[in-house]
Amino acid sequence: MDLTYIIIGVSGFLAGAVTQYIFLVYLWPNRHKTYNWIYKFYNHKKLGEPCKTDLVLDRDGYSLGYTFNRRCAAWVSYIMSKGSIGIDVPRDDCFYADLDIPEQYRVQPDDFKNTGYDKGHLAPSAAIDFSRKSNEQTFAMSNIALQHPKLNRQAWGSLENTIRNWTHNKGKLLIIAGPIYADNPETIKDIPLPKAFFKVIYSFKHSRCIGFIVPNDNIRANKLWDYVMSVKNVEKETGQKFFSKLNDKKRKMKGELDVAWWKNDK
């Protein structure tokens, strides 16, 4: 009888050890594969399209409205949550021409070569990485704009990082971003050069929003908050209408700006 108990105990111990090993080595590192399908079904246009465009494309991690004459998206819209940004799949960083865009309006990766400007993401790669496919889709050239390298790597990158951090204390967010052009913009290889970029952010949990318009220039990260403004003011500058599907009461907050609340980590 004692030997039977010993065998049962040892067997139970070994089974537990094997289960723990499988969990730690195989299941836990790949846990995102069991739930990342949830984020694929986010409706990234949940609060409406900010303006009419020639073509609207829905991707796993974002939606965009493309304008043929600018050969660029007028806006991208994407929803982020603490869970969707916490997976961090490996990236290929491989830019590619978007075959969903008609050929005459399509941009090739080499079109940006030797321009002095970066391939600036509108929907950011670092935030949309809950699956390999969702991340790869951020490298479509329809999601890319001519962006000053210092802006891309300084203020714009800092804003993207700040927004990712906000998902931990501001809840699920909807972000809309895009380029702003002069009336007669300079062109580089037949691609209009943006004069600035906008980004507006809405917190579903707190019904608060904030906006930024940053010049397409050498803007350092520590100057980011010099370019903050209400969403209503971003609308005036861009001619777009954001969060149009909110009710009248919630839309009023577009004219409000509580910078201290957004800077607060709590």
DSSP codes of every residue in the chain = -HHHHHHHHHHHHHHHHHHHHHIIIIITTTGGGGTTHHHHT--TTTT--SS--SEEEE-SS-EEEEETTTTEEEEEEEEE-TTTTS---------B--TTS-GGG---GGGGTTSS-EEEESS-TTT--SSHHHHHHTTBGGGEEEE-HHHHHTHHHHHHHHHHHHTTTT-SEEEEEEEE--SS--EETTEEPPSEEEEEEEETTTTEEEEEEEESS---GGGGGGGEE-HHHHHHHH----STTS-HHHHGGGG---HHHHH---
Report pLDDT for 101. Answer: 98
Percent of the chain surpassing pLDDT 70: 83
Q: What is the pTM of this model?
A: 0.86
CA 239 – CA 12 distance, rounded (Å): 67
Lowest mean pLDDT among 83-87, 162-166, 183-187, 208-212: 83-87
Rounded to an integer, the average pLDDT of 218-243 is 98
Instruction: Check whether 24 has a pLDDT greater than 50.
Output: no
Instruction: Check whether 135 has a pLDDT greater than 80.
Output: yes
pLDDT digits (tens, 9 = 90+) for 118-130: 999 999 999 998 8
Task: State the average pLDDT for the chain.
Answer: 90
Rounded to an integer, the average pLDDT of 80-86 is 86
Report pLDDT for 23. Answer: 43
pLDDT digits (tens, 9 = 90+) for 139-189: 999 999 999 999 999 999 999 999 999 999 999 999 999 999 999 999 999
pLDDT digits (tens, 9 = 90+) for 99-109: 999 999 999 99
Residue 131: partners with Cβ closer than 8 Å, 6 or more residues away: 32, 36, 39, 40, 60, 87, 89
